[in-house]
């Protein structure tokens, strides 16, 4: 999500792939033209990409939406002040130009916002919660001090196993990269390292986003060479590869930025694998944060208890029942702590990836704890963050 807020692969990506493949390779930047590469034709209509930081009220609640548009898709992160947890949003425009965004928590719809931009930077409309209750909203694109702007880059490409065959298996990639518009080199270095690995000499975001695609296609070509004597029919299933890499900005305020780097990859076999890597930055101090920066010494037991209680509530595990075995979902009796965390103005969340603490069928686990539940072990500097 994908993040659900951070759950991994979204169902709509399969449809998106088909559309993108039909119009050829696309690389876009915010307010920039699509670039023609590898002899393929650019799309007939250029669609800009953007990141917008929208804040205002939905009913009586303060909300923040970090909205990303790329090609004809809309996605991002929604935070309601009454909850504080970043929720995934996805959406699309209808034929009249009205935009509908739906927020999700653990795959369940929470709020549906339908509206329009009556003037640049203003998003207004109607909101319905999961119970059908109606309210109105007005959000404005505003970047307060300590909030950072981003440029959106996207890349879609495919490589056929046998270009001479109409229905040849193929490797497909979908990449989304968010690039700070300012001189935040700490975040830029982290982004480059995630997308490029050791290839850190690259500094141009258009090259950075291409790097994981090149590596993926190189692996595909290598396997193709190893199976050069196999027919297409024999290898069709294992050669329909997919790679999906993107970013979400989970929190962006008061010089604290939480980023989710997300990936999904299928290279044959029973199923693909998703992964989310989290990074948190304190840009006032120009450093990356770890749990020991957020928590007071000796925090582990209180945090574990809060996480296990949230796990029970989220997965309907009765109090007193084991967290593993027939009634639970974990491999072990207690939940291990992870350093894979994100920070918001209201709380802290932890992501457990596939197989880390539970079987594949459980999926990615996202546990969010409001600061109010663990205030005794939070450092005052982060407990009192403005939101």
* CA–CA distance, 190 with 168 (Å, rounded to integer): 37
Separation in Å, CA 41 to CA 87, 172, 206: 36, 17, 18
**What is this structure's pTM?**
0.86
Ordered domains of the chain (ranges, CATH)? 49-141 (2.40.128.120), 150-288 (3.30.565.40), 294-383 (3.90.640.20)
Three-class SS state of 341: strand
* CA–CA distance, 4 with 147 (Å, rounded to integer): 23
CB atoms closer than 10 angstroms to residue 14: 11
* Structure confidence at residue 201 (pLDDT): 76
**What does DSSP say about strands 241-253 and 170-180: parallel, antiparallel, or unpaired?**
parallel
CB atoms closer than 10 angstroms to residue 99: 18
Instruction: Decide if 107 contacts 4 (C-beta within 8 A).
Output: yes
- Residue 330 has what DSSP assignment? B
* Structure confidence at residue 184 (pLDDT): 94
Tokens, residue 20: 């993108």
Residues 6+ apart with CB under 8 A from 133: none
Q: What is 33-97 written as a DSSP string?
A: PPPP-TTPPPPSS---BEEEEEEEEETTEEEEEEEEEETTEEEEEEEETTT---EEEEEEE-TTS
* CA–CA distance, 88 with 109 (Å, rounded to integer): 10
| Grouped pLDDT means (10 residues each) for the chain, 387 residues | 40 37 39 36 52 96 96 94 93 95 94 96 96 96 98 96 87 97 95 85 90 95 80 71 97 98 92 96 97 97 98 96 94 98 97 98 97 97 73
* Structure confidence at residue 200 (pLDDT): 66
* Structure confidence at residue 11 (pLDDT): 38
**What does DSSP say about strands 347-352 and 341-343: parallel, antiparallel, or unpaired?**
antiparallel
């Amino acid at each position: 999500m994908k993040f659900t807020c951070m759950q991994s692969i979204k169902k709509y990506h399969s449809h998106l792939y088909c559309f993108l493949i039909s119009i050829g390779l696309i690389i876009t930047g915010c307010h920039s033209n699509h670039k023609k590469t590898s002899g393929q034709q650019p799309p007939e209509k250029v669609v800009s990409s953007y990141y917008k930081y929208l804040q205002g009220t939905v009913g009586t609640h303060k909300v923040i939406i970090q909205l990303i548009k790329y090609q004809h898709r809309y996605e991002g992160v929604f935070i309601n002040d009454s909850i504080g947890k970043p929720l995934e949003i996805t959406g699309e425009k209808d034929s009249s130009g009205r935009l509908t965004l739906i927020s999700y928590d653990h795959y369940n719809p929470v709020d549906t916002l339908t509206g329009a931009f009556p003037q640049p930077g203003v998003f207004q409309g109607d909101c319905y919660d999961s119970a059908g209750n109606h309210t109105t909203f007005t959000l404005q694109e505003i970047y307060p001090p300590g909030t950072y702007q981003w440029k959106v880059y996207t890349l879609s490409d495919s490589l056929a196993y046998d270009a001479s065959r109409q229905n040849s298996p193929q490797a497909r990639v979908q990449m989304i990269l968010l690039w700070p518009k300012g001189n935040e080199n700490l975040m830029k270095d982290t982004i480059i390292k995630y997308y490029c690995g050791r290839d850190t000499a690259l500094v141009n975001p258009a090259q950075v986003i291409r790097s994981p695609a090149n590596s993926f296609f190189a692996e595909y070509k290598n396997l193709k060479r190893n199976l050069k004597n196999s027919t297409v029919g024999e290898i069709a299933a294992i050669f329909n590869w997919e790679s999906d890499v993107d970013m979400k900005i989970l929190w962006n305020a008061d010089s604290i930025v939480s980023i989710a780097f997300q990936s999904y990859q299928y290279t044959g076999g029973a199923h693909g694998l998703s992964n989310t890597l989290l990074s948190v930055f304190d840009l006032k101090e120009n450093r990356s944060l770890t749990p020991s920066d957020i928590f007071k010494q000796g925090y582990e037991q209180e945090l574990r208890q809060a996480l296990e209680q949230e796990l029970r509530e989220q997965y309907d595990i009765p109090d007193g029942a084991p967290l593993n075995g027939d009634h639970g979902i974990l491999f072990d009796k207690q939940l291990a702590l992870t350093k894979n965390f994100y920070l918001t103005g209201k709380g802290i969340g932890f992501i457990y990836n596939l197989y880390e603490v539970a079987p594949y069928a459980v999926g990615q686990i996202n546990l969010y704890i409001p600061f109010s539940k663990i205030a005794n072990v939070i450092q005052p500097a982060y407990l009192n963050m403005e939101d």
